[in-house]
Structure 1
Amino acid sequence: MASIQLQPCGVHLVGSVNLPTTEDVLDRIPPLLSNRLRRLPDGETGKRDHFTAWQRGVFAAAPEAIKRRDPNDQSEIEVPNVTHEQLAMTLAKLPKQLKTQYEDYALDSYALFETRKASGQIPSHTKFQVALPGLVNVVSVLAAPYKLAIEPHYEEAMARSLQRIQDQIRHDELAIQIDVAIEFSFLEGSSYALPYFNPVFPGIIDRLSRFANLVADDVELGFHLCYGDLGHKHFIEPKDTALMVEVANALKKAIRHPIQWIHMPVPIERKDVAYFEPLKNLEFCVPELYLGLVHAHDEGGTRERIAAAQEVVKEFGVATECGMGRTPKEHFATIMEILNSVSSPIV
């Protein structure tokens, strides 16, 4: 088994957790990861466990606008171009103000979080983490002819959701995480999701920074960088961390709000120093870097991945590669055990 130089400090939960209810998440996680969490999400349980798939319901009044996939290879089924008149008719079907419901879930869960924090079940230092997707992660559920037309309406809806969350949750208890996933499909040229704007890289950074800059100055902000988890597979395998570092550097330059944490995935087979080498090119000091190198039933491999990462970067915390919402229920215990075993407390 590889030798870890120093136990990584702290654990980050990406968002979704493979438990039945929010109450289960808030009750079971804190004692399993004692003094290792700076933030606690609600687990994105129920219909939210497949990332943004549930947001299709936002556009239910105009089903023709929703993308369909080939069940055999998950490729997008092409939709013929629509006329201006057809597009106008589709837009007219949608509510004047789209509603994402992210704020509804966040506020309901925060009430449960607050009760448990007051009783001491959740440590006093723990913030309530709300994960919200980068814009393209939802717009990409739409068929190609409708994306650019509907995007501004959805962007406004996300801004309203964020504002309501910030209006009703104490800022010193709130942390916002922006999930960046489909963006990497665009950048890597994966057929899973193709870009609908050009130039791609600046367009991605512009959309993410516009949203990030809506986060209040006294609310923590972090980013989850992701290569997908559909069927427990990436939409494309990352060559190394180079593109994630490039995105992180660009976000830092574009966003006026401080970035408190960044999470990056580490595929199970990547125990080589080369995967982590580009982390040397981060142009700013990330207060909290979390590497998603914990995989179920693989503490030995996890320690090897940690040892390889420590050849490049000394200070980081640990996490799973992605959210656990789609992870088999029977893997929950081993993941918690490994997260706890390979990390040190933050307090």
Structure 2
Amino acid sequence: MTATQPEIRSTDAGNIRRGIHLVGSLPPQLNPSPHDAMQWILDETTDEDLATLPCDPDHRWILDWLDALHHVDALQPTRTGDSTSYDDYPQYRVAPRRRLTPEDMTLRRASHTAVVMAARRTLATARELPPAQVSIPGALDLTYLCFGTPLRTLANLGVVREAVLNDVNEIFQRWGHEVVFQLETPATLTLLNRVPAPLRRPVATLLAEQITRLIRDSPLHAQWILHLCHGDLGHRPLVTPASLTPAVRIIRALHEQLKHAGETMPRVHIPMCTGTNAPSTTTAYYHSLRRIPADVDVIAGLADEEHRAESFRALELAENALGRPVAAVAAACGHGRRTPEQAIANAALVRELAHAPHRVFARHGTHGERP
């Protein structure tokens, strides 16, 4: 046994009850209506700890919003496309002598939420419904997606942030604690993974500030989940990180900023694999999870129905690095770009992972291993 290959012994710490987290989107065949989508989720999680009940529109809803901006008078297209990949979706600039307003950029999430809340009343279930989960894209994500260049993004970020906050405020005013907002930000990990190593710490601080500001400026008692993501357009990630260190950097920076601001740290979904790669079974991949503060609830996005054994191993490695069971188990992203069969298989795997024993590993012969 070498210093770099320590002997690993495991003990079963007993069965525990992790929660289940569904990111939101479903294949179109399982999502013909808000009622059907939510009923499917309830039926697939009959006796499970489902903290929220999501109901996103189809998985292209952000792309549909982007296409609809073609009709905004204040915008001019700078690129067209069918939104089938990261290289062919529409982008815009503000037209000369025109002023962009928050109403121009609205996602109309309040209107969608009203439909969802009405459908919730018709669901067939004897269980108490968890709060509705309302997906809210990050303002930085939307702005960069729309405008495509750093200068245009910075120039219009404030308008887009106000549009996002208008939706959040209206939804909270109407439904309060009946809803939980899920802040979705693939741009955060994408940008952090792409900058040179010496810049990652300050960039993590700046990216976390975007999240902090949105939470701080939202209603005081609004509840949030943070959904970090590697991107999933075409079921392909924007980046494939070598470890979970970028995600941990963001979480630590956000935790510090929110604590300083007197705000509550949201539960965080960490993508631990991508749509194209199996969950890592390398111990070092999860090492940085040791640095996550103990009061941060972690949702482990590692359930991959095409790689069942790797998913179970990844859960063991993640929890041992974290030093505790995760709060919930999930896929790395939503099910919208899966087939119905894949979505059903993934939901079944998530249920199994939620009830898997929590295995604690004792290390021996680790002399020379980095802490």
TM-score calculated relative to the size of structure 2: 0.77
Provide closer, same or farther for how the CA distance between residues 4 and 222 of structure 1 changes in structure 2, counting only shifts above 3 A: farther
CA distances 1:128-169 after superposition (whole Å, capped 9, x unpaired): 111101112111222336433332222111111000000111
Task: Could you tell me which runs of 5 or more consecutive residues in structure 1 were left unpaired when the two chains were aligned.
Answer: 191-198
Tell me the residue number matched to 1:312: 321
Q: Cα distance, 1:55 vs. partner?
A: 2.4
Q: Cα distance, 1:99 vs. partner?
A: 2.5
Tell me the residue number matched to 1:194: none
CA distances 1:247-298 after superposition (whole Å, capped 9, x unpaired): 0111122223212411111122412221211011113411x31111111243
Instruction: Tell me which of 106, 109, 125 is aligned to 1:102.
Output: 109
Q: Cα distance, 1:334 vs. partner?
A: 0.7
Tell me the residue number matched to 2:160: 154
Provide closer, same or farther for how the CA distance between residues 125 and 109 of structure 1 changes in structure 2, counting only shifts above 3 A: closer
Provide closer, same or farther for how the CA distance between residues 50 and 23 of structure 1 changes in structure 2, counting only shifts above 3 A: same
1:23 equivalent in alignment to 2:29: no
Aligned Cα root-mean-square deviation (Å): 3.1
Q: Cα distance, 1:65 vs. partner?
A: 4.3
Count residues with an aligned counterpart.
323
Whether the aligned pair in 1 keeps the contact of 2:244 and 2:285 (CA below 8 Å) is yes
Residue 52 of structure 1: SS of its match in structure 2? helix
CA distances 1:10-29 after superposition (whole Å, capped 9, x unpaired): 11111212222321221111
Whether the aligned pair in 1 keeps the contact of 2:77 and 2:90 (CA below 8 Å) is no
Counterparts of residues 92-171 of structure 1 (less than 5 Å): 98-116=105-123, 121=125, 123-124=127-128, 126-143=130-147, 144=149, 146-171=152-177
C-alpha separation in 1, matches of 2:290 and 2:102: 47
* Identity within the alignment, %: 19
Whether the aligned pair in 1 keeps the contact of 2:140 and 2:187 (CA below 8 Å) is yes
Provide closer, same or farther for how the CA distance between residues 131 and 73 of structure 1 changes in structure 2, counting only shifts above 3 A: closer
C-alpha separation in 1, matches of 2:315 and 2:104: 46
CA distances 1:165-189 after superposition (whole Å, capped 9, x unpaired): 0011132x22111112112222222
Whether the aligned pair in 2 keeps the contact of 1:66 and 1:141 (CA below 8 Å) is no
TM-score calculated relative to the size of structure 1: 0.82
CA distances 1:42-68 after superposition (whole Å, capped 9, x unpaired): 1x223xx13632221453225524554
Instruction: Tell me which of 286, 294, 303 is aligned to 1:276.
Output: 286
1:219 equivalent in alignment to 2:229: no
Whether the aligned pair in 2 keeps the contact of 1:215 and 1:221 (CA below 8 Å) is no
Instruction: Tell me which of 193, 196, 219 is aligned to 1:188.
Output: 193
1:36 equivalent in alignment to 2:52: no
Residue 269 of structure 2: SS of its match in structure 1? strand
Tell me the residue number matched to 1:12: 21
Provide closer, same or farther for how the CA distance between residues 79 and 178 of structure 1 changes in structure 2, counting only shifts above 3 A: closer
C-alpha separation in 2, matches of 1:125 and 1:189: 41
Residue 27 of structure 1: SS of its match in structure 2? helix
Residue 255 of structure 2: SS of its match in structure 1? helix
